[in-house]
Amino acid sequence: MSLNGITIPYEKQSNQIIMANNKLRGKDLSKLGYTTPKSKSIALDYCNRIAKHSTKKEKISLLEDVLLNAEKYKDHDTLGKLAAEFIIVNDIAPKQIIDINKESGDFNVFGREHVTSNTIQQMSTAMRLPIAEKGALMPDAHVGYGLPIGGVLASKNHIIPYGVGVDIGCRMSLSIYDVRPAYLDRYEYQLSEGLIGNTAFGSGNAIENPRSDDLFDRPEFKEIPIVKSLMNKAIQQIGSSGSGNHFVEFGKVVFEQDFQNEQKGFNIPNGEYVGILSHSGSRGFGAGIAQYYTRLAKESCLLPREVQHLAWLDIHSEAGAEYWMAMNLAGDYAKACHDHIHYRLGKLVGGKPIAKIENHHNFAWKEKIEDQELIVHRKGATPAHKGELGVIPGSMIHPGYIVSGKGEVASLNSASHGAGRELSRTKAKNAITRSELKKILKREKVTLIGGGVDEAPIAYKNIDNVIKAQKNLINIEGKFYPRIVRMDKER
């Protein structure tokens, strides 16, 4: 809807709500991240005078947007003064555009036959950054914003918000239960209904009555203004999932050999088990953090147009240190979301999981590579240090792989994060009908709840070929076969 000429994301509430209940107070603004007397004064005056007929939810949404996207409001007749409080003003001479190198730094491409030339070119451009030390491209890679999805880039003392991605801490989580897969057939209806009732997907959607979490006691929620402003959204959306290729599913886990892992203490006999696999990230909380610090990076690090999305922050600067803390918090929030999902769905299976395997694939880590401490950005890439466990999914009908890393330095201890897209969403929609997709799902005995043809199996590369291209990077420990798949509603 439009509020005094400004579009805000929340739907219009009932006009019959008593105005007194819609009035904002100083403590409401403090929770949002409005910490200075001046910003509070301007915000209160605007909301309680000009926008007095709007609901409290609408006012909060607008103020969140002003905080996150101040530049958008700088010329607004009444909100311009408020936006000015959050726009970084350089009181020194205008910055010069930073030159990038004429030649690309070296980087390894794994499964080159599966990677398009424009994806390799995009990685080559990223490796022209003066801060780029090392790089690698995974076989599931495809073009993204700034850094390819499936790209790995290491720097010394600089963090690139868009090198991490908008969905900070997007991750895989697999719970394995000592229950035989026949359970999935016997209780297919109940499990399907359980998925519908215990998951929520897509922008603005949330679980009813979400569980509380100790995560919200973390000091970052009080000490970092942008994190504080996003706290309410994080509380509302905890335990929910994103749209696109995010999913939660029941399936069959197969180990052809005994599965042992000293690091995790796993010792599972070979056989077949029931598993719950989920894929999602840090929701609107992480997106807000990414958006805010990307803006700061772009303002302080002026780059040529072709690499603007790869603006960086010095890890030792105030903004860089803040982003690092906020990024790690968003990663922990993403993990908490998965934990809540698995807790709810685990009750439908019964018993406790005998193993849990999980990993980020949109994140940055401080790691030692060849005796050099670097910040390793993995945008759509799975950590694969020696013995480290991870899950690489296929598609809604193709198996995902449970893997352990080999610690290959040439890939910066990384592996693919999935099969990788073969077709864009538009091309996939034009290549297959909903009716054809239903026939494929029926043939493969997979139940799909939600999901669109843009996520059809033909949209993805052949997962088996992608895995084969990584034989020097990972060991195959087992497989996960999807049986009941829940995704966002068809778009």
Average pLDDT over the chain, rounded to whole? 90
CA distance readout (Å), 258 to 214, 251, 359, 391: 36, 19, 22, 17
CA distance readout (Å), 181 to 177, 191, 269, 298, 383: 10, 13, 15, 50, 29
Would you state the pLDDT for residue 57? 77
Task: Transcribe 428-473 into DSSP letters.
Answer: HHHH--HHHHHHHHHHTT-EEES--GGGSGGGB--HHHHHHTTTTT
- Domains of the chain from N-terminus onward: 2-84 (no CATH), 171-282+332-487 (3.90.1860.10)
Is the pLDDT score of 3 beyond 90? no
Would you state the pLDDT for residue 82? 84
Q: Rounded to an integer, what distance in angstroms lies between the CA atom of residue 157 and that of residue 171?
A: 25
What is the average pLDDT across 181-203? 95
Helices (H) and strands (E) in the chain, counts: 17, 21
The whole-angstrom distance between residue 378's C-alpha and the CA centroid of its chain comes to 12
Give residues with Cβ within 8 angstroms of 367, minimum separation 6: 154, 373, 374, 375, 376, 412, 413
- C-alpha closest to that of 56 among 65, 64, 47: 47
Tell which wins on pLDDT, 78 or 254.
254
Would you state the pLDDT for residue 29? 74
Burial of 8 (0-12, 13-18, 19+ CB in 10 A): buried
Burial of 14 (0-12, 13-18, 19+ CB in 10 A): exposed
Burial of 21 (0-12, 13-18, 19+ CB in 10 A): exposed
**Token pair of 168 as six digits:** 């900070």
Phi and psi (nearest 5°) for 197? Answer: -80, -20
Q: What is the pLDDT of residues 365-405, one digit of tens each?
A: 999 999 899 999 999 999 999 999 999 999 999 999 999 99
What is the average pLDDT across 210-235? 95
Q: Rounded to an integer, what distance in angstroms lies between the CA atom of residue 463 and that of residue 139?
A: 10
**Token pair of 426 as six digits:** 């538009």
Question: Which of 73-87, 211-225, 239-253 comes out lowest in average pLDDT?
Answer: 73-87
33: left (phi over 0), alpha (psi -120 to 50) or beta: left
What are the percentages of helix, strand and coil residues in the chain, rounded to 5? 40, 25, 35
Is the pLDDT score of 323 beyond 70? yes
**Token pair of 489 as six digits:** 């509603």
Stated pTM of the model = 0.83
Would you state the pLDDT for residue 71? 78
Percent of the chain with pLDDT over 90: 75
Q: Which amino acid, residue 10?
A: Y
Q: What is the pLDDT of residues 338-376, one digit of tens each?
A: 999 999 999 999 878 999 999 999 999 999 999 899 999
